[in-house]
């Protein structure tokens, strides 16, 4: 558990402290909405080269801290670096997103590397973490992250993002042994990856389960909740003082009890649930993070101000980290980000 007397407000929230002004950071805060990011990305040549260049990845992680003074800095990387480290081919198509070689049966599964072999590929990421611990302001919390096993598996099975995660659901039904083995491999790799980030200096780590909402009934328990529980339990054995944020996006009623069921120090919530509902059903379990709709970073105006104020005031009765309900989009206006921050800190 984090130190409640820390000068880092995010660590204090994660330790369970109620704060009149919640700490704030933003998912994808280093990214395509910032002109300085675009310039650095051009310098790197392509997205993966940027991820694997510690000097430039450090720079883009620091850019939103310099510009906005967020309370947390999240490592610049990508959830699909773990599949690549496991031996999947990974490339990015301009304007379309990531592409991977696919896992459709036992043959492809057998070709994946051992979990023990991932660190050579991922070593530049750990160097970025070490760089950031040296360069971040003393009051800024360094957040590491990984994708949760179900979400990562959906990309490894389909070879790309899909609207309904259909290929993963299909493999789960037709080849359950292959699917379960893939989830287990990703779970083991994620434990090693996040543990190495913590060893390098990450003060908090976050699990992004972006497609958790497409798992229904027992499947949510088996493939979203249980892998998260296993990862957190393993990390807590190695790093008992490191807090962990879990984000089972669009979990709906499955947000209820997620703290206790997984051991997460904080549950991040998306904007499909209201702050009032979160205060009643999720926040009693511990720290919550969220949940302003990302569209406000595009549209701005009085609606941004009023909704931000409502979230801050509604979640003031317990530990809260202010964030968006999903990542900021490339068409966002940096001026609206500043307006959000000013509103949070003045609410």
Domains and CATH numbers, the chain: 9-346 (3.20.20.210)
- pLDDT > 70? residue 1: no
* pLDDT beyond 60 at 3: no
pLDDT of residue 126 exceeding 70, the answer is: yes
DSSP characters over 171-189 = HHHH-HHHHHHHHHHHHHH
Catalytic machinery residues: 28, 32, 41, 78, 155
Read off the pLDDT of each residue in 20-30 and give the average, rounded to a whole number: 97
List, for residues 75-107, the tens digit of each pLDDT value.
999 999 999 999 999 999 888 889 999 999 999
pLDDT tens digits for 196-240? 999 999 999 999 999 999 999 999 999 999 999 999 999 999 999
Helix (H, G, I), strand (E, B) or coil at 115: helix
Instruction: Write the burial class of residue 127 (CB in 10 Å: 0-12 exposed, 13-18 middle, 19+ buried).
Output: middle
Res 347: pLDDT: 62
DSSP 81: H
| Average pLDDT over all residues of the chain | 97
pLDDT number for residue 5: 57
Q: Round to whole Å and give the CA distance between 146 and 43.
A: 25
Say yes or no to pLDDT of 129 above 90: yes
pLDDT at 293 over 80: yes
Cis peptide before 291 (omega within 30 of 0): yes
Query: Reduced to 3 DSSP states, what percent helix, strand and coil does the chain have, rounded to the nearest 5?
Result: 55, 15, 35
Q: What is the mean pLDDT of residues 296-304?
A: 98
Given pLDDT bands bounded at 50, 70 and 90, which one contains residue 4?
low
Identify the band that residue 113 occupies on the pLDDT scale cut at 50, 70 and 90: very high
- Cβ(99)–Cβ(80) below 8 Å: no
- Grouping H, G, I as helix, E, B as strand and the rest as coil, residue 305 is helix
pLDDT band at 6, cuts 50/70/90?
confident
* 134 pLDDT more than 80: yes
Return the number of other C-beta atoms located less than 10 Å from residue 109's C-beta: 17
All residues at 6 or more sequence positions from 243 whose CB lies less than 8 Å from its CB, including other chains: 1, 2, 11, 14, 15, 204, 265, 266
- State the pLDDT confidence band at 68, using cuts at 50, 70 and 90: very high
Angle at CA of residue 273, ends 249 and 144, nearest 5°: 35
Torsion of CA 201, 84, 96, 323, to 10 degrees: -20
Q: 287-326: buried (b, 16+ CB within 10 Å) or exposed (e) per residue?
A: bbbbbbbbbbbbebeeebbebbeebbebbeebbbbbbbbb
Residues present in the chain in total? 347
Q: What is the mean pLDDT of residues 146-151?
A: 98
- Helix (H/G/I), strand (E/B), else coil: 41: helix
């Amino acid at each position: 558990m984090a130190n409640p007397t820390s000068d880092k407000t995010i660590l204090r929230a994660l330790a369970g402290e109620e704060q009149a002004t919640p700490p704030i950071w933003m998912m994808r805060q280093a990214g395509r909405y910032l002109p300085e990011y675009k310039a650095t990305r051009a310098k790197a040549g392509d997205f993966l080269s940027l991820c694997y260049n510690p000097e430039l990845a450090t720079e883009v992680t620091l850019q939103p801290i310099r510009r906005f003074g967020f309370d947390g800095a999240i490592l610049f990387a990508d959830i699909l670096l773990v599949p690549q480290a496991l031996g999947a081919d990974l490339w990015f198509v301009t304007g379309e997103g990531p592409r991977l070689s696919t896992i459709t049966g036992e043959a492809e599964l057998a070709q994946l590397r051992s979990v023990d072999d991932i660190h050579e590929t991922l070593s530049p990421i750990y160097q970025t973490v070490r760089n950031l611990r040296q360069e971040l302001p003393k009051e800024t919390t360094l957040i590491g992250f990984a994708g949760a096993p179900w979400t990562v598996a959906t990309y490894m099975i389909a070879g790309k993002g899909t609207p309904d995660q259909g290929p993963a659901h299909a493999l789960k039904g037709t080849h359950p042994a292959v699917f379960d083995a893939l989830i287990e491999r990703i779970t083991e790799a994620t434990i090693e990856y996040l543990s190495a980030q913590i060893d390098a200096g990450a003060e908090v780590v976050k699990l992004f389960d972006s497609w958790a909402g497409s798992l229904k009934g027992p499947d949510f328990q088996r493939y979203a909740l249980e892998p998260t529980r296993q990862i957190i339990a393993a990390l807590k054995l190695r790093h008992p003082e490191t807090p962990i944020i879990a984000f089972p996006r669009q979990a709906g009623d499955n947000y209820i009890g997620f703290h206790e069921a997984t051991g997460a120090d904080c549950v991040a919530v998306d904007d499909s649930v209201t702050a009032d509902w979160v205060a009643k059903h999720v926040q009693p379990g511990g720290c919550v993070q969220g949940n302003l709709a990302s569209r406000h970073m595009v549209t701005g105006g009085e609606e941004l101000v009023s909704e931000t104020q409502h979230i801050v005031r509604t979640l003031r009765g317990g530990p809260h980290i202010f964030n968006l309900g999903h990542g900021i989009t490339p068409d966002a206006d940096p001026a609206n980000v500043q307006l959000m921050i000013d509103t949070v800190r003045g609410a």
